[in-house]
Amino acid sequence: MRRIVIKSSSCSPLLFMVDTMTWKEEFYQLYLSPESGSTIKALEMKREHIPEKLFRYRPLGSYSAKCANCVAESKILKESRLDHVLSEIRSGQIYASPVGRLNDPFEGYSILKKDHALKKILNSDKHKKSCEEKFRDHLTDAKFKEIFDSEDWNEELLKYISDQTKSSLDETKSLFNDVLVPVIKKYLADPYTDYIRQVLRVACFSEKKINLPMWNHYANGYKGVCLEYTTEDIKNPFTVNRLFPVVYSNELPEFDFIDGNKWQERSDFICTRKLSDWRYEEEWRLLANMNFLWNVTPENISEFNECGVNVKFIKPSKIYLGFNIDSIEERIIREIAEHEKIPVSKMTCSAHGLMFEG
């Protein structure tokens, strides 16, 4: 595990711990870098590492869900997962879930990097101007000039305040920090997290078709299916660009939320960052932004909080059936697959583990 430092435009580092897959480290360094052309270079690098096949685990059976029109109703519908799977097979569209409805409670969250955020605010021109206005009538001209003409004007101001209040410099700094940090969290960090969870939609894939926990958790105990996608069939460059590898770490990502540089890229990174407990998923994600797909505005965004969206993708190149699949659902899927000319293989149990026909 290595610590990666990414410099922002204001030279404040973004730190995150990443796994040992070097190309992923380099990709996210480039993707978050403020340097001109870095995003294009990063996407070109990623394109070279997209797996030949991606696999999407889907459950079958029926389930209860909120009314699909997403208005504020308590109406509950009994929906068929089979219908959703058949739609993905026929149409080449896939369902992308709201970030807040994924099963990881930490999805879309990050940690406020307090020290860097405070440093940026305290050294900003806006903060200096505000302090000059507040202290101009309380300082002699000489003292005002001494403090605000200094390169370390903020430090000099805090020293002056600590002298006047007969407090230590550390106590004065701590008091200022205690006031500012909750403000940063309330007005910058929390709204940004809300934005990610409201606006971004996620469709999940795995690099492997034989992944026992995935079959158990996401294909409802081997009763579901795994849809194989051949990535070279994706002809839309925008779709390719919105496919991202998930990075696993022991820590949530840290941001200062002050630097407004590369907000979309930061959002993408936060949504492709998971704790190490999920490493077994070997996940890739297709990210969809509701602002680009629907007419989402600050005024109506609450209506879309729980709304998933069907995203144009490609048809599966093969369908794998779980060994516990219902016989009727199996027959229906095989009929549709034959019509769509998509091969089907069913999982079997053997002395050597799980295998597929053919």
* Averaged pLDDT score across all residues of the chain: 78
pLDDT digits (tens, 9 = 90+) for 69-80: 443 333 333 457
pLDDT digits (tens, 9 = 90+) for 122-175: 666 777 787 888 788 888 888 888 888 888 887 787 788 778 777 777 776 676
What are 55's two structure tokens? 């696999």
Give the per-residue pLDDT at 120.
Answer: 62
Residue 47 has pLDDT above 90, yes or no: yes
What are 155's two structure tokens? 């430090």
Strand spans (E) along the chain: 2-7, 13-18, 53-58, 62-66, 76-80, 93-98, 111-112, 200-206, 225-230, 243-245, 247-249, 254-255, 273-275, 283-289, 309-312, 318-321, 344-350, 353-356
Question: Among candidates 333, 310, 309, 308, which has minimal Cα distance to 321?
Answer: 333
Residue 192 has pLDDT above 60, yes or no: yes
Question: Among candidates 333, 308, 328, which has minimal Cα distance to 227?
Answer: 333
Give the per-residue pLDDT at 15.
Answer: 46
Give the start-to-end residue ranges of the domains of the chain.
49-107+200-356, 114-190
pLDDT-derived band at 45 (thresholds 50, 70, 90) equals very high
Give the per-residue pLDDT at 116.
Answer: 55
pLDDT digits (tens, 9 = 90+) for 16-33: 444 445 798 889 889 988
Give the per-residue pLDDT at 37.
Answer: 92
The C-alpha atoms of residue 151 and residue 314 are separated, in whole angstroms, by 58
Q: What are phi and psi of 352, to 5 degrees?
A: -100, 10
Residue 200 has pLDDT above 70, yes or no: yes
With 0-12 CB in 10 A as exposed, 13-18 as middle and 19+ as buried, what is 294? middle
Give the per-residue pLDDT at 152.
Answer: 81
**Alpha-carbon separation of residue 38 from 29, 45, 68, 267 (angstroms):** 9, 11, 39, 16
